Amino acid sequence: MTTIPVRPEPLGSALARLEARWGSAAIRLGSGRRMDARPTDDGASTSGALALLPAPRLEPTPAPSSTPNAEAISTGFPALDAILGMGGLPRRAAASFRGDASSGKTTLALRCVATAQAAGGIVAWLDLGRAFDPLEAAARGVDLRWLVVLRPSDPEEGLRLAGALVSGRAVDLLVLDLPPRLPATHEALIRRLAAHARRIGVQMLVLEPVSLATPLHGALAEAAGLRLELVRSGWIRLGRDVVGQRTAVTVAKNRFGPPGRRAELEIRYLDDGERMAAVARLLDAAGEAGGEDTGPPRARAPAVPPGAAPRSVQKPPTPLVTVDHAPPPPRLAPSPAPPRARPAGAALDAGDAARPRWAALGLGHGPRPEPGRGAPRRAARPAAGSRP
């Protein structure tokens, strides 16, 4: 039997049948265009009662802008920025990172400092616990030339110095690294410093240990607009070596977004190569301290117009980092050579021949008495059986 191929139905008969059934209603078929279609005013084409719409033109999705956010600074971790609501730490409120010594809060703070410096800000770090590592900071992207490190003799002096920097609007970001055993008597100073920074417009970041006193923790909980709790959740291993850690971050308080969100961060430890690169950058920065200023634009010296008298422009400070160094050990005089042991049975050596005999034997070092003037001799002991 021969199969006769079925030809497609002509468009005219299909339109006539549709028009007989539905009337003159327009039927939208999506995108399509025929040679005999008549374009309309809105760009569509028609063929009888059949309306053929043009394919919709999709607008290209704009690329994300690289301009820094004026309302927040990035933490350096996209997963954490996504749950904070504003894309980072809000500039209008203080932030608190609470965790143990190995929770990763210092690394997170260094990433925030590097982001703030990249936007042209100057940062002050109040190191009350004396735990700041300049190599770690430089390896995390911090520019030590525009970082003020305060290491006071006592916490009260440090808080007052930080208040002076905030009052003078000398810094844009203030980091408070609190020690675990901070006395609770400093609660009023911390409250005043946080209120003053909020009123002036200086962003404050507090590194809060878990074992902080209850009054201080309550003061920070009230003053901070954002509180993050950090807990180490695991290790990152490469074979048998531990190369990093995983830190779980929970948003305990957030005035600018929903609290209770969680994110997991992967923090890589620095190897010897990265530390050596940080040392090289520090040496290069120290060598270029007397050359051209490469700091923020507002810190550069104004240009002198041609023909005008040169102004006395104060030279920008070289590294603003103040790191305590131990004093060099005192130089000790070379110790004398130990005396040589004398052979058994020898009372005099070659040097003793020029000295009196009793001096060599340890009987005294005074002058030798002249003959006839010596000390009186002791009387001889009488023999046994004789009378005195």
* Domain 72-288: CATH superfamily, name plus number: P-loop containing nucleotide triphosphate hydrolases (3.40.50.300)
Name the nearest CA neighbour of 176 among 201, 146, 155, 195.
155
**Three-state SS for 150?**
strand
H or E stretch including 94?
Answer: strand 94-99
Give me the mean pLDDT over the 159-186 stretch: 94
Name the nearest CA neighbour of 32 among 10, 11, 51, 59.
51
pLDDT of residue 312: 42
pLDDT tens figures, 230-289: 999 999 999 999 999 999 999 999 999 889 999 999 999 988 888 888 888 777 777 776
**Cα separation, 116 vs 74, whole angstroms:** 8
Domain limits, the chain: 72-288
DSSP 1-38: -PPPPPPPPPHHHHHHHHHHHHTT--EEEEE---TT-E
pLDDT tens figures, 117-170: 999 999 999 999 889 999 999 999 999 989 999 999 999 999 999 999 999 999
Average pLDDT, the chain: 74
Phi, psi of 231 (to 5 degrees): -140, 130
pLDDT at 84 over 70: yes
Distant-in-sequence, close-in-space partners of 219: CB < 8 Å, separation ≥ 6? 187, 190, 191, 194
Q: How far is CA 73 from CA 86, 91, 172, 250, in A?
A: 9, 7, 12, 18
pLDDT of residue 275: 80
**Cα separation, 133 vs 131, whole angstroms:** 6
pTM: predicted TM-score of the whole model, two decimal places? 0.59
pLDDT of residue 39: 53
